[in-house]
Every structure is written in C-alpha cells, then in structure tokens.
A and B are shown apart, each in its own frame.
Chain A
Amino acid sequence: MVAHTRSARTARAARRLNQPRPALVEAHADGLPRRVNRQDVAVVREEWRVVDRWWTDEPVHRRYFDVVLETGEHTVVYHDDDGGSWFTQRA
C-alpha cells in the first residue's frame, strides 16, 4: 500500500490566485516605503487603503502603495496594519 502523499493532495486542491507574498520593506516615518526588497523606491505613484471584513474574525486593514523602483520595476506593496508586516501583491 502506498500512502497518499501530502504533495499529491495539496496539488489537487484549489488555491487562491494572487496570494500576497512577504516583502522586505523599509519605510519612512510617515509609513511610505523607502526601499522594497533592497531596491530604492523612485516614486510612490498611488496610495490607497483597504478596510474590509471588519465584521469577521479575520478583519483586513491594509495600506497599499503602487511604487516604481530605481531599477524601473513597477510593483505594489501593502502594509498589514493588524500584523505589522509588509507584502507584495498584484493589485
């Protein structure tokens, strides 16, 4: 008998698309990102907040930033106001 491997089981389960990935962000005192994944931020193009599911056990309080890095790369990062961590995600 061969055990059902964990990888086979997880491979068949549906998963969320566009999951946030942890990011290494250094921020200014006002909370604006200064460096993202060791790259300097050239410009913060846009900023918005997402407050949702406040009525559940898993409320969402995020501060999103659409930034352009010194390398020319365009990326979106957010600060999770509940957990205090930074993530990157396609918005």
Chain B
Amino acid sequence: MIAAVVIPAFDLRAALRLRPRLQASPAALAPLPGTEQLVGSVTGAAQAKGVRPGMRLGEALAMCPELVLIDHDPATAEQAWEEVLRRLEDAGIAVEPVEPGLCYFETAGVERLYGGLEPALKRALAAVGTAWDPQAGAADRRFAALAAANVARPGQALIVSDDRTRSFLAPLPLQLLPLERERYEELEELGVRTIGQLAGLPGTAVAERLGPAGRRAWSLARGEEQGRVVPRKPVTAIHETLEFPEAVGNELTLRRGLGVLLDRLLARPERAGRPPRKLAVWARLVGGASWRRTVTLREPTADPARLRTALAVKLLELPAPALKLRLEVGELAEHTGEQLELLGSEGEAGRARLREGLRQVRAAVGAGGVSTVVEVAPWSRIPEARALLVPRDD
C-alpha cells in the first residue's frame, strides 16, 4: 500500500515556530509580494472567525479585523520539513517528499518492521511529532492515500482498502483534486461539488471542458491512477553557519563570509572527497525574515574558486542586510575524482574546439551568426566609428 503523511498549513506552522503564542490567535499567511492579494494558510482561531485560505485580503480583514498577518518564512519551513523527513528516514521509512507538509511512502517494507500496517503508520506519525498535528492515510493508490490523510483527524491514520476506494472518494469535496481555483468554481457553477459527481461524468466531456488537467483529475476521482512512490536518496547534512556581530549588507563582507563558509564546508570529513552537486545559501535577515537560494552546478566540483563564483552571484539578490549566513550542501556527487585532460587544450587542439563550437553556433542561427569585432578607429570620438562587426564564415 501507499501511505501519505500530511501536515495541514505546514508553511504557517513553520512561520509561527518562533512565535508560538500566535498559534492560538487569529493569524494568516500574508500574500506574497507581487502576487494576488489572497491570504495563505490560516490558524484555527482565524477559521473560527470565518477566514478561509485563499480569501481576498480585504475580505479577510473585514471579517476578522484583529487578524494578524504573518510573513512567509520559506527557509524555516524548508529546514523544519527537512527535519521531519530525516526523522521519518531514521525510523526506516523511505519517503518521497512532494512539498513541505506532504510526503508519501510505500508501506510494504515498514509493515514487516513494525508488525503491520497500523503500527507502521502510528510509528510514522510519532516520528513526525505531535507538535505538527500530522495526519496519515493509506490506500492502494496515491490519490486515495492523500484523500484519506486529509480526512483523518490530527494524530490519526485512516486506511482505505482498494475495493472501497471509489465509495470513499465519492462524497469528498472537489478541493482535494489538483485543479486550479477557477476550475473548482467552474465545476461548482455546473453543480459538480463532490469527487463522486465528477467521477460520474463522461471522461471525454470532462477533457473537452477542462483540458488535460481536468481529465487527470477525473481519472484520480475514479481511483484509476497508477503512480508509484519514488523515495528520495537520504542526504548527508553538511552545513556551516556564520553569525555576524551586526547586520551586514556590504557585498564584499558577505562574499568574504561566504568564502570562509565554503572553505570550512569543503574541509568537512563527511564529504569524503565527493564534490557538491547542489548547494544552498541561507540568510537570517534584519527584522527576522529568512532568505534562501539554491545553486545546482552543471558539473559537480570541489574547486573553491568555481564554487565561489557560482555562489557569489546569489548574494546580489539578498533583499536586506543579513545577521547570519549559512551554506548547506544539498547533494553530493557519487564520484570522488574528476576526469581531467592529460594535456592542456592549447594550440591546434584548442583552435579545433573553437572552430567546432563556432560551426555549431552557425548551424543553430544561420550564416552571419558569428562575427568578429574589428577595431578600425579606436581613437575616434564618435563611438560607432571605432569598431566593425565582421561576419566570419571560416
């Protein structure tokens, strides 16, 4: 069977980790800058006052004037989610994370480990931790497992057998299906409010009206999806942190800090000589917000100069001065060596490579795609008289 573990409103819970007192008061995630003014996840107290996730900000504030808006904290959420996944992996569960607050796993292996499906699900819930109020569901298909987890109460697991899948899904609301908001509204206008009602419609009519996404939702509603679980490879936690005595916004200082972190990170024995493939730069900003950028290298390398170049550009995106800077290894390559050339590609070999590269550019963009800059009057006071672009066809 496939099990799903869901932590409702994970992003909000993570953002409130440092302000636990707000968990009991009406609070909601503020809209992201530059996006539609809709509130994100909401607390139970806000929900009791009529505020719903996805509601317009103005409407939410009119309904609940004391509503506290919480800024997104993606770095804290990502870190907290990684901790949850690690605890699950420590319990012997090979998880496939989908997004912060949702993951799947195959129960077959852990059933034997914990003596049955139910004890295995309970172990998974315990591994996540009661503070997160996790919900678990198990079924033969991914979507049914997800629906069961959404229906389960906090700290509980719901198991749906294959023969009951369709009848279990039928009365559930459409919002469980992966569709855009406009599609739900469109379906509701047509009188389709439950998964069972959608499953009862002809597939071709659904595809014609709602497109491929609608057709996929229809298949899910009928319990016909065949997706399996692809567990992630457990990652080695290697990170280095630098705390500044005062907020730093100066690019040079930040670059130096990053250089120090990089040297420390590359010296870590856990790396076992393997070059990083994916790195993340994290910062705690003035005012408490967090910031994170991931860098995936085209070619894994442990060359400090190349890594510094790849990471330093990300620092330019830092929106505010940083109090803390952290460098994390997201993924390490499996190999320890790098296939280098015995002889440098200077001289004829280098020129041959260049010619081949230029041939490829010409093939892609056509004649005139490659030009040489020829200085004709570099001393001229008229800028456009100084150089010519001469096409190269050789």
Q: Evaluate contact between B393 and A17: CB separation under 8 angstroms.
A: no
Q: Evaluate contact between B366 and A11: CB separation under 8 angstroms.
A: yes
Q: Evaluate contact between A14 and B383: CB separation under 8 angstroms.
A: no
Q: Evaluate contact between B384 and A11: CB separation under 8 angstroms.
A: no
Q: Which residue of B lies closest to A78 (CB)?
A: B383
Q: Does A18 contact B (CB under 8 A)?
A: yes
Q: Evaluate contact between A50 and B389: CB separation under 8 angstroms.
A: no
- Chain A interface (Cβ < 8 Å from any Cβ of B): 8, 11-20, 50, 52-53, 60, 89-91
Cβ–Cβ < 8 Å partners of A13 in chain B: 391
Q: Does B354 contact A (CB under 8 A)?
A: no
Q: Evaluate contact between B367 and A15: CB separation under 8 angstroms.
A: no
Cβ–Cβ < 8 Å partners of B382 in chain A: 50, 52-53, 60
Supply 20 further A-B pairs (C-beta < 8 A) apart from A11-B368, A52-B381, A89-B384.
Answer: A8-B367, A8-B368, A13-B391, A14-B374, A14-B389, A14-B390, A14-B391, A15-B388, A16-B385, A16-B389, A17-B373, A17-B384, A17-B389, A18-B383, A20-B384, A50-B381, A52-B382, A53-B382, A89-B383, A90-B383
Q: Evaluate contact between B391 and A16: CB separation under 8 angstroms.
A: no
Q: Which residue of A lies closest to B385 (CB)?
A: A16
A-B CB contact pairs (8 Å), 16 listed: A8-B367, A8-B368, A11-B366, A11-B368, A12-B367, A14-B374, A14-B388, A14-B389, A14-B391, A15-B389, A16-B385, A16-B389, A17-B384, A18-B384, A19-B384, A50-B382
Number of interface residues of B (CB under 8 A): 18
Q: Does B268 contact A (CB under 8 A)?
A: no
Q: CA–CA, A14 to B380, complex, Å?
A: 18
A-B contact count (CB 8 A): 47
Q: Evaluate contact between B391 and A11: CB separation under 8 angstroms.
A: yes
**A18 and B390 contact, Cβ closer than 8 Å, known pairs A11-B366, A50-B382:** no
Q: CA–CA, A8 to B368, complex, Å?
A: 8
Q: CA–CA, A47 to B366, complex, Å?
A: 41
Cβ–Cβ < 8 Å partners of B389 in chain A: 14-17
Cβ–Cβ < 8 Å partners of B247 in chain A: none
Q: Evaluate contact between B367 and A11: CB separation under 8 angstroms.
A: yes
**CB interface residues, B 158-178, toward A, < 8 Å:** none
Q: 1/0 contact trace for B361-394 toward A, CB 8 Å?
A: 0000011100001100000111111111111010
Q: Evaluate contact between B368 and A16: CB separation under 8 angstroms.
A: no
Q: Which residue of B lies closest to A76 (CB)?
A: B383
**A17 and B387 contact, Cβ closer than 8 Å, known pairs A11-B368, A50-B381:** yes
Q: Which of B373, B386, B391 contacts A12 (CB 8 A)?
A: B391
Q: CA–CA, A50 to B382, complex, Å?
A: 7
Nearest-neighbour CB distance to chain B for A48, whole angstroms, equals 9
Q: Which of A12, A19, A53 contacts B368 (CB 8 A)?
A: A12
Q: CA–CA, A16 to B374, complex, Å?
A: 10
Cβ–Cβ < 8 Å partners of B391 in chain A: 11-14
A-B pairs, top 6 by smallest CB distance, nearest first, are A11-B368, A17-B387, A14-B390, A16-B384, A14-B388, A18-B383
Nearest-neighbour CB distance to chain B for A58, whole angstroms, equals 10
